[in-house]
Amino acid sequence: MIKIDKIAKFPYEFIKGSQTERSQLVRDLNYRFFRNISEKFKTKDIGFDVFQKTLDETVPFPHKVSITQSGNKGGFLGVNVDDSFNKVVGYNMLIPPNAFSGEISLTTADAFMHESAHYFSFMTNPKTVARIAKVYETGLHTKTQDFYDSVLYSKKYLSKSEISKKLDEFLSTLDGKERIDFLQNSRYRLKDELFAYQEGEKYQSLIQDIHHDKICEKVDATDFSDYNFDIKIELLEGKLASELKKSSVKEQPVPEYLTTSFGILGQLDKNF
């Protein structure tokens, strides 16, 4: 089983408390980072080295996260796994650069604040990271990723009944344990994406208001409404409840911030 090294999670003393308190901690950390990174924009762009240094200074404990350029318009948050010790030992964050300057533009705050939201959520909730890592470790990711990308994390329009039908058909190809693991993992991932998109949208507008003198016009945040996260999450939760009832497996509680608002490990975030 893949473990989470202490450098890839915050100390228990820092994150202990109720789900509500952890929820607020994640948002507070992302806001602290936003406040710090906003101050670095003396022009429209900042260097990747400045971004790295600012994130490092924001994180309150020893950690390991590397910032590099994304090869496309999307961001990415991945994990570093030390195979010799079977441990998650850090994270890789890819940020899209300005095509002209090669640096990070303040008008892409929806992308970089999206990724920082993922990062702080994982550091604050190591059990979530462990659950996601388990899907990769068991090979379930390979069996389920195409369906996840084409139906769940997709902007292609499908009615609620169509999604439900496709989901039932796909679940029938998995055994009982796989169905529970897939449903739990997919629910976490979609809620995590929803949270990150909402954080990106919020700060995309705010940073341009603060630095209005550095831009010609405001750039809207990525529209994520076509993903229909709420409908898909509702369906996943309903089918998960049914599976758990049948198997009498008691799942771990969901962090409150994931139930109210929250690409995922190894998953490219889309459409920035």
- Residues 123, 128, 130: CA angle, nearest 5 degrees: 95
pLDDT value of residue 260? 41
* Contact assessment for residue 272 and residue 74, using Cβ atoms and an 8 Å cutoff: yes
242 confidence band (pLDDT: 50, 70, 90): very high
pLDDT value of residue 252? 55
Q: 109 vs 23, 220, 224, 256, CA distance in Å?
A: 21, 10, 15, 25
DSSP state of 148: I
Phi, psi of 167 (to 5 degrees): -65, -45
* Contact assessment for residue 123 and residue 10, using Cβ atoms and an 8 Å cutoff: yes
pTM of the model: 0.89
Average pLDDT over residues 7-25: 90
45 against 24, higher pLDDT: 45
Average pLDDT over residues 5-21: 92
255 confidence band (pLDDT: 50, 70, 90): low
Annotated domain spans of the chain:
3-260
pLDDT value of residue 163? 98
Determine how β-strand 65-69 pairs with β-strand 87-95.
parallel
Burial letters for 207-224: b for 16+ Cβ neighbours within 10 Å, e otherwise? bbebbeebeeeebebbeb
Residue 113 structure tokens:
């604040």
Element (H, E) at 147: helix 140-147
* Contact assessment for residue 109 and residue 200, using Cβ atoms and an 8 Å cutoff: yes
Phi, psi of 88 (to 5 degrees): -80, 120
Residue 243 structure tokens:
């599976």
Is the confidence at residue 238, as pLDDT, over 70? yes
Closest CA to 52 of 27, 76, 33, 71: 33
Is the confidence at residue 83, as pLDDT, over 90? no
202 against 131, higher pLDDT: 202
Is the confidence at residue 44, as pLDDT, over 80? yes
pLDDT value of residue 72? 81
pLDDT value of residue 94? 97
Per-residue pLDDT tens over the stretch 110-120: 999 999 999 99
pLDDT value of residue 249? 52
